[in-house]
Structure 1
Amino acid sequence: MAGNPERRAALVDAGIAVLAREGARGLTFRAVDAEAGVPTGTASNYFTGRDDLLRQIDARLHIRLAPDPEVVEELLLGARDRALVTAFMRDILDRAVRDRAGYLALLEMRLEATRRPELRASFTASVRGDLEQGMQFHREAGLPGDDQTVTVLYLAMLGLILEHLTLPGVLDGALDGVNVPEDLVERIVTTVVPAK
């Protein structure tokens, strides 16, 4: 396998773009090469096969969609209350919107994992690891609520982001006086997170 890390990262990012735009069926080495603007056959020199590419896309998505440590540090200067949890949830939504292709690729990975048991095992482990890391962060930061609170927030935000990025009109006008998705984040937090 070729060892140029910058080229590998560019190919993985190209794979993310293809996955987001074309879905898993469109994710071929030829499509990745075209997206990256490299000669045909380049991707096959960097990945042992499609499963290897998907595993590396999974790893890269976790980096691309991760919170900015400086943003986290700044937010942690605030009181440990619902308002801070709301700020963290808004940051999650903002990151998904900013890297729409990355988040859509993450959704495509979920769908592909339903068809590929080997991917399901590794992808489940990585997503579960993210959830457990979120629980640990919540506890260590002294935020209101417990692991169950984090799990329900995770599910609610997943649904909100899915709707907002794929069918944004579904929630328009569904809730009187609520600006979707921005105000809905606060509604989710107020509903799920106990007052401290």
Structure 2
Amino acid sequence: MGTRRDELLDAAITVLGERGIRALTHRAVDAAAGLPVGSTSNHFRTRDALLDAVVERFAARERAAWEDLARRTYPTTPHELARVLVLAAREATGAHRTLTLARYAILVESGIHPSLRAQLSATGAEVNAWFLQWLRVAGSTDPERDAPIIMNHFTGLVLHELAIPDPAFDPTDQITALVTTVIRPRSAEVPS
């Protein structure tokens, strides 16, 4: 069972994911949490304090979702990695839709608030580290090059599906083509 603080922050994430950044107010969070007016401001005196705490909570929830995915699978080939990313895209646009929409709202807001940018970079470091490891295990010879190519495409693909939902959404072919093209197979060294 979470704390009252976590309950408020989860309600704030729901407000963000369902109504956008402008809707994120203390009163909106109180209402979403089903708590008396003033509950949110008792924990977070300013909107900036609320937003900073939301980023921490959001990052923890997103990291937990990715860690759950990592526990269920360990891709050792480009095709297996593509399957995992397809599953992640489906979860991000399905079961975790509100959380993902909140993520994009926070990302856009970080363009205006540099403190959020720094906070997002710091909280994303753990996820980035294990994704680089997945790339290595899947056969990437240059994970630092491959990671942004794959994840930036993944981010755009998910954003597009959230913005313009397709009932037949199936990113399998696109993600598989991307991953198997980007991850360069290991080859034997050619004598000089």
TM-score band, normalised by shorter chain: 0.7 to 0.9
Seen in structure 2, the aligned counterparts of structure 1 residues 101 and 131 have a Cα distance that, compared at 3 Å, is same
Q: What pairs with 1:72-91 in structure 2 (closer than 5 Å)?
A: 72-76=70-74, 80-91=76-87
Cα distance in 2 between the residues matched to 1:168 and 1:46: 36
- Greater alpha carbon shift after TM alignment, 87-96 vs 18-27: 87-96
Any stretches of 5+ residues in structure 1 without a counterpart? Answer: 173-178
CA RMSD of aligned residues (A): 2.5
Q: Quote the offset at 1:191 in angstroms.
A: 2.4
Q: Is the 8 A contact 1:65 1:96 kept in 2?
A: no
Match of 1:94 in 2: 90
**Equivalent pairs, count:** 181
Spell out, residue by residue over 1:98-154, the C-alpha distance to the aligned partner (whole angstroms, 9 max, x if none): 111100001000111112232233223334554344224533xx2211221112111
Q: Quote the offset at 1:29 in angstroms.
A: 0.3
Q: Quote the offset at 1:87 in angstroms.
A: 2.4
Match of 1:144 in 2: 139
Bigger RCO (CA 8 Å, 6+ sep):
2
Query: Secondary structure in 1 aligned to 2:45?
Result: coil
Seen in structure 2, the aligned counterparts of structure 1 residues 152 and 137 have a Cα distance that, compared at 3 Å, is same
Match of 1:166 in 2: 163
Q: Quote the offset at 1:168 in angstroms.
A: 3.2
Identity among equivalent pairs (%): 29
Any stretches of 5+ residues in structure 2 without a counterpart? Answer: 187-192
> Match of 2:158, as an amino acid?
I
> Match of 1:72, as an amino acid?
A
Match of 1:120 in 2: 117
Match of 2:177 in 1: 187
Query: Secondary structure in 2 aligned to 1:115?
Result: coil
Cα distance in 2 between the residues matched to 1:69 and 1:29: 30
Q: Is the 8 A contact 1:24 1:108 kept in 2?
A: yes
Cα distance in 2 between the residues matched to 1:163 and 1:181: 11
Match of 1:58 in 2: 55
Q: TM-score, normalised by structure 1?
A: 0.80
Cα distance in 1 between the residues matched to 2:102 and 2:11: 11
Q: Quote the offset at 1:90 in angstroms.
A: 1.9
Q: Quote the offset at 1:69 in angstroms.
A: 4.5
Cα distance in 1 between the residues matched to 2:150 and 2:124: 15
